[in-house]
Amino acid sequence: MNHKRTQKALVVAGARPNFMKVAPLLKEADAFNRRNEGKFPRLEWLLVHTGQHYDRTLSDVFFEELRIPPPAVNLGVGSGSHAVQTANIMLKFEQTCLAENPDWVIVVGDVNSTLACTLVCSKMGIKVAHVEAGLRSFDRTMPEEINRIVTDALADLLLTPSGDADENLKREGIAESKIKLVGNIMIDTLAAHLPEARKSRILQELGLKPKSFAYVTLHRPSNVDDPQSLAAIMSSLRKLGESLPVVFPAHPRTAKMLAQFGIDNRGSGGVKILEPVGYHASLCLTENARLVLTDSGGLQEESTFFKVPCLTLRPNTERPSTVSLGSNKLTRLDRLASDLDEVIHGPAEKGQIPPLWDGKTAGRIVQAIVEFDERSRTETAAIE
């Protein structure tokens, strides 16, 4: 019989979109301990930062704004090719697991850190819970799609945001008993931080009026790593800037590519190119934008929450409810001008908020993990 009084988990974050997903989990584990009164093992959930993102604007700012405790361990892996980055995370994370001996590793999203840590644990016999499991773009040219498929094939507990994700997993032959629909974790953070986001001074700083600017973020290799595609995007933005101010905080990958291809990287006319903005400023820009143009998964969801029309410059999305229910529409470079025109002349608010975007997902996740442990304990006790 397992008499452990503490259940230890390493919660992994590596890149910008991970930080808003781990913040509510760590907070909820603390809340669980305060309520627990010794009935269940105490949750000792420690944050591991892989260091995949290391710039202040992509990492530290989120720790400060979301009040995430400093990581117990920072692997400091930095950038590299996919193989180099994944392998470096694996080498270092294996040492962390040997030193910490966790019962669980909790991974979020679909970045290289998610995949690397899952691979390590699956060989060490450490249980893995994947938050945001089951999303599929069905496009294996996206590195994230490979990360999603492999992570979900190996994880022990698949915590899904939406019904479509459950269906994807079942189609891949994953046992239903491993799948738990918990809702959208991003919305927990959004709901908790909306009052602060609404106090952001970003509109005043940039001289913008609500509902009269476009908020643009683009960083996918498929859009920004190709000189022709990036030049065509920038030329569409300049055209859009003639009728609507365009705010474009550029991810370091995008900034690097603009410089490398000799494309204007400071912005001109109606286009303002900025450094990446923090979480509160980004939410404030999204809520107040007339339209969002993006290739980010997070922005598709946040604009859906605010019912702000969003064009996603990608051939597919792993978040289909943002299109079927929300305010999102997929677009292509050769259709971008007409799609932008349609949005500008259409309603300023559209769509509905999908189910389980209610700010209570972290609570359901903690409960699912505790119940998984309780079930295993009962089963072990029955065998003994």
* Alpha carbons 36 and 30: distance in angstroms, whole number: 10
219 binds ligand UD1 (CB under 6 A): yes
Segment interacting with ligand UD1 (CB under 6 A) among 14-22, 195-203, 285-293, 376-384: 14-22
| Binding-site member from 106, 111, 165, 271 for ligand UD1 (CB under 6 A) | 111
Q: Binding ligand UD1 by CB under 6 A: which of 46, 54, 238, 316?
A: 54
- 264: which 2 tokens? 């204007």
Selected range binding ligand UD1 among 52-60, 97-105, 119-127, 232-240, rule: CB under 6 A: 52-60
Q: Of 97, 161, 98, 174, give the one whose Cα is nearest residue 133.
A: 161
Contact 193, 280 (CB under 8 A): yes
261 binds ligand UD1 (CB under 6 A): no
Select the span of 50-58, 277-285, 331-339, 374-382 touching ligand UD1 (CB under 6 A): 50-58
- On whether the CB atoms of residues 72 and 96 are closer than 8 A, the answer is no
Measured between alpha carbons, how far is residue 304 from residues 84, 307, 320, 323 in Å?
A: 35, 5, 11, 9
CA atoms within 13 A on the CB side of 347: 7
Between 111 and 285, CB nearer to ligand UD1? 111
DSSP one-letter string for 27-86? HHHHHHHHHHTTSSPEEEEEEEE--S--STTTTHHHHHHTTPPPPSEE-------HHHHH
Judged by CB, which is closer to ligand UD1: 127, or 251?
251
How many CB atoms lie under 10 A from the CB of residue 298? 20
Name the residue nearer to ligand UD1 (CB basis): 252 or 363. Answer: 252
Q: Which is nearer to ligand UD1, 143 or 163 (CB)?
A: 143
Cα 156 to Cα 46, 114, 282: the distances in Å are 19, 14, 34
Query: Should residue 40 be labelled a site residue for ligand UD1 when binding is judged by CB under 6 A?
Result: no
Beta bridge partners of residue 310, listed in sequence order:
292, 328
Our finding on whether 364 is near ligand UD1 (CB under 6 A) is no
Active site residue: 219, 251, 280, 345, which one? 219
Q: How many residues bind ligand UD1 (CB under 6 A)?
A: 18
CB 187: neighbour CB atoms within 10 A? 24
User: Least separation, in Å, of the C-beta of 297 and ligand UD1?
Assistant: 7
For 190-202, give the DSSP string: HHHHHHHHTT--H
Residue 122 contacts residue 90 (beta carbons within 8 Å): no
Candidate segments 130-138, 250-258, 282-290, 368-376, binder of ligand UD1 by CB under 6 A: 250-258
Q: Which of 16, 49, 180, 290 binds ligand UD1 (CB under 6 A)?
A: 16
Beta carbon of residue 16, minimum distance to ligand UD1 (angstroms, whole number) = 4
Residue 15 CB, nearest distance to ligand UD1 (Å)? 4
- Known active-site residue 219: yes
Give the binding range for ligand UD1 (CB under 6 A) out of 11-19, 153-161, 322-330, 353-361: 11-19
Q: What CA–CA distance (Å, rounded) separates 291 from 288?
A: 9
129-148 positions binding ligand UD1, by CB under 6 A: 143-144
Which residues are identified as catalytic?
219
Judged by the rule CB under 6 A, the positions of this chain that interact with ligand UD1 are 15-17, 52-55, 58, 79, 111-112, 143-144, 219, 251-253, 256
